[in-house]
Amino acid sequence: MSKLISNKWWLFAGFVFVAALSRLLPHPYNFTPIGGMALFAGGLLSGKRLFWIIPLIAYYISDLLVNNILYASYFDSFVWGGHFFVYLSLFSIIILGKFLLKKITVGRLILGSLGASTLFFLLSNLGVWITSPLYPINLEGLISCYSAAIPFFQNTIAGDAFYVTLLFGSYAWITKSNPSLVLKEVQV
């Protein structure tokens, strides 16, 4: 692998890992980098076969840290995994970015950010409904679960908008002054 390609990948991976590790910082509920880093991966690496591995590994590492440092008092032992439906939403958002962001424009980023928030809301709360004893497994339970999650949706939208802006904006700014690092052009 040439140094040029290596630098492009290190830049991309650095952005994704820093975003994932930002989960360790204090933040409002659901104001997380999930949607932003997944869209970033899907948008920039859409032609690459293994475009989804970096954000999944980054998120897994951040899950290990969050669950075993910040939330360690809630568990009896070391927690190795995360919630399957959050990973499913992460992967789904990467796929959204792969198809929606073939050309990266501000309008597509806004649409992608809202789509990411919606996918996360639908899939993660479906997981809560299926796995939590709080809601009966029937239509009424599903509606109750989604209704209870509505107050958190605004933070998901805000978090996705923030991280999409931060990641794509920073990437566009850095690659504008260093064109050799461009994986894909961001039109701002």
What b-and-e string marks burial along 104-119, b requiring 16 or more CB atoms within 10 Å of the CB? Answer: beeebbeebbebbbbb
Lookup: tokens for 180: 């050799």
Q: How confident is the model at residue 177 (pLDDT cuts 50, 70, 90)?
A: confident
Identify the CATH number of the domain in which residue 140 sits. 1.10.1760
Mean pLDDT of 99-110: 94
Mean pLDDT of 66-92: 86
Question: Which residue in 53, 43, 117, 131 sits closest to 85, CA to CA?
Answer: 131
pLDDT for position 123: 97
Beta bridge partners of 104: 186
* 97 strand-pairing partners: none
| Mean pLDDT, rounded, for 37-45 | 91
Contacts of 159 (CB under 8 A, 6+ apart): 27, 30, 31, 32, 33, 34, 35, 36
Mean pLDDT of the chain: 89
Percent of the chain topping pLDDT 90: 62
Query: How many domains are there within the chain?
Result: 1
The band of 3, judged by pLDDT with boundaries at 50, 70 and 90, is: low
pLDDT tens string 15-31: 999 999 999 898 888 99
Residue 51 confidence (pLDDT):
63
